[in-house]
Amino acid sequence: MSVAMWMIEQERHVESLAHPYGWIITRDRNHEINEACRAAGVEPLDDDDSEVGTTGPRSMPDGIAERLKAGDGVEFRLLDEGDLDDYGDAERRPGCAAEDHPDYQVVFEGRLVDPEGEWDFAPLNDFGAYRAVGIQYRDERSGEWRYL
């Protein structure tokens, strides 16, 4: 990690203590695809463990962690550019979604508790920075996914 990135990380940490929030990962499609490949006798993409249950940030207060474990929070999903689903496209891998499928580009899903409404990009910045390129939230009224 560069010095500049470390300084940004420290600044975000201090800010998160004053304005607490938290997130939890509830779905890991990479892991789902790997399990579908194993079940079909196809070589999986990797041997990574599931990220389901991963929470953050480290500064998350216990009260927010308890709310997340109880199912509270706004639903989000982290997306790639279709890399996960297009991998090995010539031989459509088990568990991969076609371009017109609602899961296409989805890498992770989760929930965010953000009492002050200041951390919309936190799951992407904290967890998905090297795994995803975008974040969407479910519109509570329509149920549709929307980019920020």
Q: Which amino acid is at 65?
A: A
DSSP annotation of 90 reads G
- Taking residues 124-132, report their average pLDDT: 91
User: For the segment 18-28, what is each residue's pLDDT rounded down to a tens digit?
Assistant: 668 999 999 99
Q: Is the pLDDT of residue 130 over 80?
A: yes
| DSSP E strands, the chain | 22-28, 55-56, 74-79, 106-113, 134-138, 145-147
User: For the segment 23-59, what is each residue's pLDDT rounded down to a tens digit?
Assistant: 999 999 999 999 998 999 988 888 789 999 999 998 8
